[in-house]
Amino acid sequence: MNRVIPGFSLSLGITLFYLSLIVLLPLGALVWQAVDVGWERYLAIMSGARTLSAFRVTLSTAALATAFNAVYGLALAWVLVRYEFPGKRLLDALVDVPFALPTAVAGLALSALFVKNGWFGGPLDLLGIQVAYAPLGIAVAMAFTSIPFVVRTVQPVLEDLASDVEEAAATLGASDTRIFLRVIFPAIFPAFLTGASLGFARSLGEFGAIIFIAGNLPLKTEVVSLLTFIRIEEYDYPAAAAIAATLLGLAFVMLFAVNMIQLWQQRRIGTGD
């Protein structure tokens, strides 16, 4: 056993105490407030046109952002692990910037870039694509704030992957595509899935970056976190709690599903495919 920090029961006690204080207590308070709303009122809140639209907008843009990050994040992790080039360490450090940056600053910067008089927005506008103040802008903000999740979960697994397995596959005559699909991808799949779903969950709740670029038009570009904020501004705490608790539930269901898939994957590999 590794016992650099002494006293298992003491460490465990501190761990549990702070986990409860920092994570479980606020979540518990939220759920408790939502339970207070009552079933009928909850259904009325959740089936409102505006609530439904906010969930539809949020879920679809989060899916789009996650799809983009899944492909691009994987490529980024691959390049960082497999190649040597000048500026690699800088690129590696840059990946963490979305985590370190206040999301509101990210939102401001992104909206400055993507509006019609911005660097990216101008050319895109000529092509007839509107990003800022449209659903696409929300997806851009989400992709920005959640990209590190995919890279940072896939990267260490790729680093650990011994290249002799790949070489063996190659000597047996497997094509590059086949090696990637049958050897590399299955090995990194659990990490990849975890990264993508953490990114998705983060996107669901993102607020700061989005409200600057979304336009916030009800039924069009209003996300769930903004609607929660609006309900609180109206002093309507029950509605805010109900919406927030639903979002929390969604995130939990997703994390649970990912755990199940990982378990299944481990078993499948463990017994030999």
Give me the residues that bind other proteins (CB under 8 A), please: 4-7, 10-11, 14, 18, 49-50, 111-112, 115-118, 132-133, 211-212, 215-219, 226, 229-236, 239
Q: Taking the complex as a whole, how short is the minimal distance between the CB of residue 197 and other proteins, in angstroms?
A: 29
- Closer to other proteins at the Cβ: 118 or 148? 118
Handedness of CA 253, 243, 55, 122 (dihedral sign): negative
Q: Provide DSSP, 2-13.
A: --SS--HHHHHH
Q: Choose between 4 and 126: whose C-beta lies nearer to other proteins.
A: 4
In the bound state with other proteins, the residue whose beta carbon lies nearer, of 160 and 236, is 236
Q: Residue written as tokens 């709303």?
A: 37
**Nearest in space to 137 (alpha carbons), one of 121, 119, 148:** 121
- Measure the CA–CA gap between 94 and 73, rounded to whole angstroms: 13
CA distance 139 to 200: 11
CA 244 to chain centre: 17
* Shortest separation between residue 25's beta carbon and other proteins, angstroms: 14
Min dist CB 18 to other proteins, Å, is: 7
Select 113 or 261, whichever has its Cβ closest to other proteins: 113
Cβ closest to other proteins, residue 49 vs residue 90: 49
User: Which residue lies nearer to other proteins by CB, 202 or 231?
Assistant: 231
64: closest CA among 200, 169, 163?
A: 200
Instruction: Quote the least distance from Cβ 115 to other proteins, whole Å.
Output: 4
With beta carbons less than 8 A apart as the criterion, state whether 155 and 80 touch: yes
Least separation in angstroms between CB 171 and other proteins: 51
At closest approach, how far in Å is the CB of 270 from other proteins?
A: 37
Least distance (Å) between residue 122 CB and other proteins: 11
d(CA 7, CA 12): 8
SS3 percent helix, strand, coil of the chain, rounded to 5, is: 80, 0, 20
* Closer by beta carbon to other proteins, 70 or else 209: 209
Spatial contact of 61 and 142, defined as CB atoms under 8 Å apart: yes
Residues 6+ apart with CB under 8 A from 182: 169, 174
CA quadruple 79, 81, 85, 91: dihedral, nearest 10: 70
